Structure formats: C-alpha cells, structure tokens
Amino acid sequence: MTSAQLQAFVTVAQVNSFTAAAIMLGIGQSAVSHAIKSIEKELGVTLFVRGKADIILTEVGSHILAKAHSVLGLFESIKQTANESKNLQQGVLKIGSFGPSFSAHLLPIILAEYRVRYPNIKVYVEEGEDHLVREWIANRKVDLGCIILPDLEFDHIYLTTDKLSVVLPVNHPLATKTKINIDELRPFPFILTEGTTGKMVKELFKQSKFEQDVVYNNVQIMSMLSMVSCGAGVSITAELAIPSELEGKAGSYLIKPMLPIVKREIGLAMQNLQHLSPAAAAFVKTASTLERAGKLKHQHL
C-alpha cells in the first residue's frame, strides 16, 4: 500500500464520508474508493461498514487507523528530512494541546519566534484533554504534545509552571481579600471545570475533607468564566487558562491567589527526542531557548 492510499483511508475515517474525503484530498471519489478497496484487498480485511447514510469503521479498521497515523507521521518525517537537506525549510508540524493554558498563552509566544525562522512550515494545533493528547503522541497523530508533568511514558522538555487560582464575581463577599483559603469557599455555590484541572480540584477537595456544593460540573473554561461573571458561583482553575485581560472589568471576574498553593508543571512531549522531524526538532529547540531565557515563565510565580 502507498502513502496516498493510507492518507485516503485516514481522511475517510476522519470525516465518515467518501465524498467529503475526496473534496478534502482534491481527488475524485472513485479514486478514494479505489484506495480503500486496494488496502482492504491487500490486507484481507474490511475497513468500513458501508450504510445508506454513512460509513463506520470496523473494529479492525479502528486498530489499523492508529497504525496508519503512525506510518504517515514517519512518511512526513522522511519528507521533511529530505527537504531540510535541500534547505527548503518546508513541511508540516502537528501539535496536540490539552487546552488554553498552552494554546492561548504559551503557544503564541513560541510560534511568534518559530515563524520568523521557519515561515514556510505549516503548523496545525488540535485540542483535547491531557489523556487524548498522550494518545495522539503515542499514535503519531501529532508530532508534539503539550501535557501535564511528570511523565514517564514519553521524552519531554519542561516549559513552565502554572498554579490553581480562585475565580470570583467582581462584587463577591471575598473580593477584597488578597488571598483566599479554600475553606473560605465552603458557603458558596461552586462551578467545576472539566479536564485535568477539574480532577486536580476534586483531589484538593478530597484532601481538605469537605464536600463542596458543585452546582455546575465539567464546564469549559469560557463557560465557567461567564457563569462566575453572572454571579452563579465561584470556581478554581489553572491561572494560565484564564484570560487575565478581562479581570476586574464591569460584569466580569476577579482572579485571586489560593491557599494552599497548588502548582502544576507543563511540558512538551514527543515519542523520541532523537528521532523528530526537522520541523518538530526546530520547534522543540525554539521552545527550549525561550524557556531558558525566562520568556515562558508565569509572571505570578
């Protein structure tokens, strides 16, 4: 099977449509169908169950999809290595992010420097919870992934340290305090965010040995901020995930340091630091240089 056939298979699996995959790939639908049939014939398995309205991956198709991502990642690495040798500085870089802490704060800083040096490399960012980003790294769906440290599974570099902070409505009874102990939040309705931060907060409540009145559960960061701003409750989340430019404005929210102090380290992970594509290796080098220069350090830590 060829890389083009594998790309057709991966694209069909992503969009669940031969027609949509053909449009995305810029080829005819018959070419996509032929690519899938060729793979199925070569492997002797059925990749998709074809219905009237849609198509569904078979169980073996799902397992092969993970391998296909890995193989295509290696193909891209080979092409970029060849391009580098010809000094083309072209290629594609795929990055996984666990949320706004990286996507909204750290990534723009790194990309600003990276694009100056490598303007022709296309960068794609996909967001998901921390465990999903780890799966994408393992399956080579992404070249690099921003994750919460510590990590024993992948090679990684350290980026920065974040901490949990309390988020309050601007007219809240605790608004005048400079720091807020978690025990002071007991009387107030609580809005729990989703993902890794939400799990950290749950563990913090468990260690503090009290049950908080959680009125909203597994809420996205921006939804949580809107609810807090409207006075629906208070919350705790990672400070890097909060858009600080809106803090204190009318109808908005306040960010307060929390006691006890709870920190988390953020890193950039990859399968093997020594076998990165040129584009990924350049991004890691750029991020490392900025970290050593203190440009990724959180100003409140």
Kindly report, residue by residue over 186-195, the tens digit of the pLDDT: 999 999 998 8
Pick the CATH number of 1-65 from 2.60.210.10, 3.30.1330.10, 1.10.3720.10, 1.10.10.10: 1.10.10.10
For range 23-47, the mean pLDDT? 91
Read off the pTM: 0.69
- Percent of the chain past pLDDT 70, that is, above it, reads 93
- Percent of the chain past pLDDT 90, that is, above it, reads 52
As annotated, the residues of the chain forming the CATH 3.40.190.10 domain(s) are: 161-263
* pLDDT of the residue at 89: 67
* pLDDT of the residue at 250: 54
For range 76-92, the mean pLDDT? 70
For range 236-259, the mean pLDDT? 79
Kindly report, residue by residue over 199-213, the tens digit of the pLDDT: 889 999 888 887 888
Kindly report, residue by residue over 161-172, the tens digit of the pLDDT: 999 999 999 999
As annotated, the residues of the chain forming the CATH 1.10.10.10 domain(s) are: 1-65
Please count the CA atoms within 13 angstroms of the CA of 10 that sit on its side-chain side: 19
* pLDDT of the residue at 84: 63
Kindly report, residue by residue over 289-298, the tens digit of the pLDDT: 999 999 998 6
For the domain spanning 161-263, the CATH number is 3.40.190.10
* pLDDT of the residue at 220: 86
Is residue 151's pLDDT more than 70? Answer: yes
How confident is residue 55, by pLDDT bands cut at 50, 70 and 90? confident
Is residue 271's pLDDT more than 90? Answer: yes
